[in-house]
Structure 1
Amino acid sequence: MITEKAPGKLYIAGEYAVLEQDCPAILVAVNQFVRVSITKSKTSTGLIHSRQYSQDSIHWVRQGSKMVIDNRDNPFEYILAAISFTEQYCIEQGIKMKVYDLHVNSDLDSADGKKFGLGSSAAVTVATVKAILHFYGVKMSNELVYKLSAISHYSVQGNGSAGDVAASVYGGWLAYQTFDKKWLKLQLETNNLSDVVNEAWPGLKVELLTPPKDMKLMIGWSQKPASTSRLVDETNANKAALNIEYKNFLSASRACVLKMIAGFEANDIAMIKEQIRANRKLLQHFAKINQIAIEIPRLTKLIKIAESYGGAAKTSGAGNGDCGIVITDSETDLDALGNEWRHNNILPLNFKIHQISLTH
C-alpha cells in the first residue's frame, strides 16, 4: 500500500487580492492532513472510498428553470479531477494504466464533521496527485505536483488562486502569486498536458519564508464553517461595477503584503504585526464595498480579545466564518488569550506549522 499526505493551509494575508495577477499573499501549511492510500485492485473494478465524505450534502442553484448541481464543495469531484489529469500525464509518459483502490482520510474537519477552513479540497487534490504519481513510479518534484494539482483543482472550482494548493505542496510559510488563468486555459486547449506542465507559468511565484524566531501563530476557530467558492463568486460579480475601488484595493493589498514579506526578511515581528492590522482594515473596506460578510461578529470578538493581549489579528481566508489568525511575540500571554477565547465560544486550534521536504 502506498500512502501520501498533504497538509491543510491558512491564509495569513492578501486574501481576495490574490485572485489577481501580481498580487501576493502569505499562507502557512498546518500539521492537519489529508491522507490518500492507493493499492492495486484485486479485481477488474476499482474503488474510491472516503471515511469523511460518505454523507456529503450537495448544493445546487437554479439557472433559469434548470437545476444545476454545484459540485465545488464535493471532495469526490476534486479526487476524480486529480486522477484524470495525473493519469493523462502518466499516459503521455508511456505508462500503462492499472486498476486500483483509493482510500481517503482527513483530519481537516472537526470531530463532528464541521470544516475548519483549512483548504481540504486543495489538500485532497494534492494527496491524490502524489499517491498516483507514486503508484505509477513517476519521479516527483514539488513543481510537477503543484501544477497537476492546480490544473485539477481549477478544473472543478473555476475560480480561486490555487494558493491553498501551493501551501499543501510546499509547506511552511510561503509568499504566493497566482498564474495567468487565461494563458493556462488556452495552453490546455492547444497543447498536451506534459508540455503545459513543463512550461514556465506566467505570473506564478512561490517563495518560502522564514519567520522571526520569537514569532508565534495562534489560530482561533469561530465554529462557523464558510464556503469560499460562493464568496469568491459574489465578489467576482462585482468587479466591473467597482472598477476604481477594486483597483485601489488590489494596489493597497499588494503594498501591504510586500511590506509583510520584507518584515519576514528583516526578522521584524513589529513590522509583520503592523501589516496584519493594515490588511484587516483593507478587508473590512473590501467587505463593505462588496456588501459581503467577511468579519462576522464571532471573528470580530476573536480579533478584539487577541489585540487586548498585544497580538495582531485578522480573519483568515475568505472569512464569513472559519478561522481567525493572530501573530504574537514573546510578550503575549498565550494561555490567558486562549482561555478568554474559550469563554467566548472561540476554539483555540493547537496546530503547528508543517514543513515539507519532498523525499521522492
Structure 2
Amino acid sequence: MITVQAPGKLYIAGEYAVLEQNCPAILVAVNEFVRVSISQSKGTSGLIHSKQYSQDSVHWVRQGNKMVIDNRDNPFEYILSAIKFTEQYCLEQAIELSVYDLHVNSDLDSADGKKYGLGSSAAVTVATVKAILKYYNIEASNDLIYKLSAISHYTVQGNGSAGDIAASVYGGWLAYQTFDKKWLTNELKHKKLSTVLQEAWPGLKIQLLTPPAGMDLLIGWSQQPASTSQLVDQTNAKKKSIKTQYEDFLEKSRQCVLSMIEGFNSGNISLIKQQIRVNRQILKEFASLNHIAIEIPKLTKLIDIAEKFAGAAKTSGAGNGDCGIVITDSTSNINELKNLWRENGIMPLNFKVHSISH
C-alpha cells in the first residue's frame, strides 16, 4: 500500500485576475490534506473509494430539452481524469499497466461535509497523480506533477487558473501566473502527452515566497460554502460587454499583487497589509461590475472585526462564502479577534502554512 498526500490551498490576493495571462496571484498551502492510498487489486477489477464523497450531490442544467450534468463539483471526475492522463504518460514510458484500488480521504471539508474552500478538487487531483506515479515507480519532479495535474484538472473544469494545483504541488507561500490555455489545448491535440509535459508552458510562473518574520496568517470560515466554477462562469460571460473596465481591473490587480510580492521580497509587513486592503477594494468594484456577491455580509463582518484589531483582511478565492484571510503581526490581539469572530458565527480555522521541502 502506497499513501501520498496533497495540501489544500487558500488564495491571499489576485483572485479572478489570475485567470488571465500575466496577472499574478499569491496563494498559500495549508496543513489540511487529501490522502490517496493505492494498492494492487486482489481480483480483476479495481476500486475507487472515498470516505467523503459517497453522498456527493450532482448539479445539472437544462440546455434546450437536454439535461446536462455539471460534473465540475464532483470529485470523482477529477480522480478519473488524473488516472487517465497519468496512465497515458505511463504508457508513453513503456510501462505495463495493472489493476489497483484507490482509497481517498480528505481533511478539506468540515465534519458535516461542508467545503471550506480549500481547493479539494485540486488536491485530490494532485494526490491521485502522485499516487499513480509512485505505484508505477516513476521518479517525478514537482514540475511534472504540476503539469499532469493541471491538464487533468483543466480538462474537467474547463476554466480556472490551476493556481490551486500549484499550491498543492509546491506548498508554502507562492506567487503564481497561469499558462496560455489556448496554447495548451492546441498542443495536446497535436503532440504526445510526454512532449507537452517537457515543454516550457508560455506564461506559467511559479515563485516560492518567504513571509516576513513576525507576520501571521489568520483564517476565518463563513460557514457558507461557495461554487468557484459557477462564479467564474458568470464573470467570464460578462467579459466582452465590460471590456474596458475588465482590462482596468486586470491592471489594478496586477500592480497590487506585484507590490505585495515586493513586500515579501523586502520583508515589509505593512506593505503587504496595505496591498491586502487595496485588493479587497479592487475585488469589491469587480463584484459590483459583474453583479455578483463576492463579499457576502458574513465575510464583511469577518473583515470589519479583523480591521478593529489592526489586521488587514479580505475574502479568499472566488468569495460568495468560504473563507476570509487576515494578515496580522504582533500589534493584533489575536485571541480577542477570534472570540469576536465566534460571537458573530465566524469559525476561526487553526490551519498553518504547509511547506514542502524542495
- Using the size of structure 2 for normalisation, the TM-score is 1.00
Residue equivalent to 1:334: 334
Shift of 1:357: 2.3
Match of 2:174 in 1: 174
Inter-partner Cα distance in structure 2 for 1:185 and 1:130: 23
For 2:70, the equivalent position in structure 1 comes to 70
Partner of 2:217: 217
Aligned residue for 2:116? 116
Deviation of the 1:140 alpha carbon? 1.2
User: Residues 34-55 of structure 1: CA distance to partner in whole angstroms, max 9, x if unpaired?
Assistant: 0000000010000000000001
Give the letter for the 1:41 counterpart: S
Corresponding residue for residue 36 of structure 1:
36
Give the C-alpha shift of residue 156 in structure 1.
0.2
Aligned match of 2:6: 6
Give SS of 2:123's match. Answer: helix
Partner of 2:57: 57
Q: Distance in 1 between matches of 2:180 and 2:30?
A: 27
Counterpart residue type for residue 75 of structure 1 = P
What residue in structure 2 maps to residue 94 of structure 1? 94
Q: CA deviation at 1:171?
A: 0.2
Q: Separation in 2 of the partners of 1:143 and 1:90?
A: 16
- CA displacement at 1:321 relative to structure 2: 0.1
For residues 83-232 of structure 1, what are the structure 2 equivalents within 5 Å? 83-232=83-232
- The two structures, once aligned, show a CA RMSD in angstroms of 0.4
Distance 1:11 1:134 in 2: 29
The alpha-carbon deviation at position 65 of structure 1 amounts to 1.1
Secondary structure, counterpart of 1:298 in structure 2: helix
Secondary structure at the counterpart of residue 225 of structure 1:
coil
Distance 1:11 1:192 in 2: 33
Give the % identical residues.
73
CA distance in 2, matches of 1:131, 1:320: 33
Matched, 1:238 2:245: no
Q: Which residue of structure 1 lines up, in the alignment, with residue 276 of structure 2?
A: 276
- Aligned residue for 1:54, secondary structure, equals helix
Cα distance in 2 for residues equivalent to 1:343 and 1:50? 34
Once superposed, which parts of structure 1, at least 4 consecutive aligned residues long, lie more than 4 Å away?
A: none
In structure 2, C-alpha distance between the alignment counterparts of 1:143 and 1:39, rounded to whole Å = 25
CA distance in 2, matches of 1:310, 1:12: 17
| Per-residue CA distance 1:10-67 (angstroms, 9 max, x = gap) | 0000000000000000000000000000000010000000000001000000111110
Q: Structure 1 stretches of 5 or more lacking a match? A: none
Q: For residues 348 and 262 of structure 1, what CA distance do their matches in structure 2 show? A: 28
Amino acid in structure 1 at the alignment position of 2:9? K
What is the TM-score of this pair, normalised by structure 1?
A: 0.99
Structure 1: how far apart are the matches of 2:96 and 2:66?
40
